[in-house]
Amino acid sequence: MSALTATAAVVRNRRPLRRALRWWPAPLLLVLVLLPYSALPLPGLLDGPIGSPGSLQLLALCLTFGALATGYDLLLGRTGLLSFGHALYFASGTYATNTFMLEAGFGFWPSALLGLLFGTALAALLGSVSLRVSGIGFSMVTLAFAQAGSILVSRDPGGLTGGEEGRAAQGLPSALVGIQHTANLYWIALAYLVFTLAVVHWAVRSPTGRVWEGIRENERRVEVLGLRPYGFKLVAFVLAGALAALGGVVYLLLTGGATPQATTSDFTLSLLVMVVLGGSGSRWGPLVGGVLYTWAQHRLGDLAGSGAIAGLPSVLRVPLSQPLFLLGLLFVAAVYVLPGGVVRLPERIRAVRRRNEQQRGERQRGERQRGERQRGEGSTAS
């Protein structure tokens, strides 16, 4: 009875802690909102104080790609759809918004809304075709659409895309232009992240989200229950495409123009790496992976061009001077050391501790049993 009472006391003591941990994103969000006012230096992590324009620009990119990875995980981690064409919808938001401003003469906000609608409609159209096949066929169809979009952008039809040079944005609000307004861009990126997290969390916890989980685990079983997986997968595809198009609008503000780098299949592969690095199918994993990948991509570029690398022998200098080589090494090491993603590291630590405790308990029980046998043998002999 005393053991049961002690267990109940432990459970009661843990409940306030669990309730407190449930609200931890709120203080973190407040800290993120106030970061532009901070002059705290972070040597090695950022080039200058947190509130400096360069640091805020990097942080805004990290938040943007963290949100993009979170939206992409609706397909990969939540529904089990491996798409190689997600960059197309991100680029459609960027290019459509810029084109409406430059060619139609619309203001930024109407152009951003039209760019979002264009990206969503494109995702609905191409998704309805791509989802007619499944498995590797679906992946190849999405890749084909993305490659077609990349070729179209590089050909610069009618001078709308700017070809390989891209097109600089014009007509942006004055409060979003110039290094003195970098904090405003940072807050927009943070708002995009919060909106994406809220939408994804709501969608995953909805009845549709539970069907997505069933499709990921066993699509045939969902069909046996009388549901049509095609419609549910199309909803996930369109929602992920819409969030990507919105991210393209934010990226247009951060970079000040539309560039063809956002249309390549390498961009989607980067999103895939972000999701795997952070932890696919988890609430915070894609966000963490997107932030870490984006930060490493920029910081490793500085390391590759540093004097420390330049002074190495050529056999080391040549590969280490390539940022993608360093990023690849980092990713391979993370996959081997942290299978399941960065966010599942605490679970692995707890599992190791439980295993060690079980082994310690088994050893102690074995020692007690041996001691009891020895005492029994001694009493018999006497």
Residue 60 lies in a domain: yes
Q: Are 123 and 240 in contact (CB under 8 A)?
A: yes
* 3-state helix vs strand vs coil in the chain, percent to 5: 80, 0, 20
Q: Are 262 and 87 in contact (CB under 8 A)?
A: yes
pLDDT of the chain, 382 residues: tens digit per residue: 444 454 444 445 555 545 544 666 788 888 889 999 988 888 878 888 888 998 999 999 999 999 999 999 999 999 999 999 999 999 999 999 999 999 988 999 999 999 999 999 999 999 999 999 988 999 999 999 999 999 999 888 888 888 888 888 888 888 998 888 899 999 999 999 999 999 999 999 999 999 999 999 988 888 888 889 999 999 999 999 999 999 999 999 999 888 888 777 778 888 888 898 888 888 888 999 999 989 888 877 776 666 667 777 776 776 767 767 777 777 777 777 777 788 877 777 787 788 888 888 788 887 787 777 777 666 665 5
Residue 102 lies in a domain: yes
Burial 123-149 (b: 16+ CB within 10 A, else e): beebbeebbeeeeeebbebbbebbbeb
Structure tokens at 352: 């190791």
Residue 299 lies in a domain: no
- The distance of Cα 199 from the centroid of its chain, to the nearest Å, equals 14
**Residues spanned by the domain of 232:** 49-273
Alpha carbons 235 and 74: distance in angstroms, whole number: 10
Residue 265 lies in a domain: yes
The number of distinct structural domains making up the chain is: 1
Give one DSSP letter per residue of 101-144, joined into a string. HHTS---HHHHHHHHHHHHHHHHHHHHHHHTTS-THHHHHHHHH
Match 């529904």 to its residue by tokens.
Answer: 79
Residue 337 lies in a domain: no
Backbone Cα Rg of the chain: 26
Residue 123 lies in a domain: yes
Q: Is 382 helix (H, G, I), strand (E, B) or coil?
A: coil
Residue 104 lies in a domain: yes
Count the alpha carbons within 13 Å of 325 in the hemisphere toward its beta carbon.
Answer: 10
Using alpha carbons, select from 115, 251, 242, 245 the residue that is nearest to residue 189.
Answer: 251
Alpha carbons 297 and 50: distance in angstroms, whole number: 18
Per-residue model confidence (pLDDT) at position 4: 44
Structure tokens at 188: 């927009």
Structure tokens at 170: 């014009």
The conformation of residue 180, written as its DSSP 8-state character, comes to: G
Using alpha carbons, select from 75, 83, 80, 79 the residue that is nearest to residue 140.
Answer: 83
Phi/psi at 257 (5° precision): 175, 175
Q: Are 73 and 225 in contact (CB under 8 A)?
A: no
Residue 248 lies in a domain: yes
Q: Is 338 helix (H, G, I), strand (E, B) or coil?
A: coil
Per-residue model confidence (pLDDT) at position 27: 85
